[in-house]
Amino acid sequence: MISYDEWRIAYAKQAVADLRAREKLLEHPDLPDCQQLHFLQMACEKMCKAYLSGQGVDAETLSSSHAYISSQLPIIARQQFAQESRKVQGDRSWIIPAIRALARRIELLAPAVNDAGRHPANCEYPWVGPDGAMRVPAEHNFGLDLLHEKAGRHLLKVLYTATEELGSLKG
C-alpha cells in the first residue's frame, strides 16, 4: 500500500512541474493567459493535495474533487507566515484574507468547480456565457495576473516554499 508520505511527495513533485511549466509559458506573451493559468490552477490543486496527504487524507478522497484550493491554500499560507512572523515587521493581517479571495478565483479556473453554474469560465473548455454566446478560454480575459494582485507575490512565495517543503522527505 502506498503511504501518505509517498502521495504527499508525489503531489508536491507534480506541483513543482506544473509551476515550472507555467514559468515557461509566461516567457511567451503571445500565448493566451488561459494556458499559464491552467498550470497555476493545477499546481495549486496538487500542492493542496500534497498538504492534505501529509495530514493523513487518503488518496481516494483526494482524487474525487478539485475544490481544495480555497479551503487549504489559506491554511498553508497561515502556517508559513507564522513561521516567519518573527522576521517580518508591519501589519500583515490583510494577507490571509487576500490569499483566500485569490485562491477562490484560482479554484474557479477548473471546469469542475463552476460554483453551481454561476462561474462557467474556465481555462480548459469553451462555455456558453450569460448572454448565450460561445466563449473560448484562449480568447477570454480572466483578469488574473499574480504580479499585479494585492497578495499575488505572497501567494507565489507560498506556492514555491510549500511545494519544496511538502516534496521533501522530512514530512
Asked if pLDDT for residue 92 goes beyond 70, the answer is yes
pLDDT in tens, 80-91: 888 776 666 667
pLDDT band at 169 (very low <50, low <70, confident <90, very high): low
Kindly tell me if the per-residue pLDDT of 105 is higher than 60: yes
The whole-number average pLDDT for the span 146-163 is 88
Q: How far is CA 71 from CA 6, 87, 101, 164, in A?
A: 23, 26, 10, 20
Question: Cα dist. 104→50, 83, 86 in Å?
Answer: 18, 24, 28
Instruction: Give residue for cell 454566446.
Output: 133
127 beta partners: 135
pLDDT in tens, 31-79: 999 999 999 999 999 999 999 999 999 988 898 887 889 999 999 999 9
Average pLDDT in the chain: 90
Domain layout of the chain by residue ranges = 4-166
Amino acid at 99: I
pTM: 0.91
pLDDT grade for 17, boundaries at 50, 70 and 90? very high
Cβ(138)–Cβ(34) below 8 Å: yes
The pLDDT-based confidence of 11 (bands split at 50, 70, 90) is very high
> Which three cell numbers mark 110?
477548473
- Measured between alpha carbons, how far is 128 from 168 in angstroms, rounded to an integer? 42
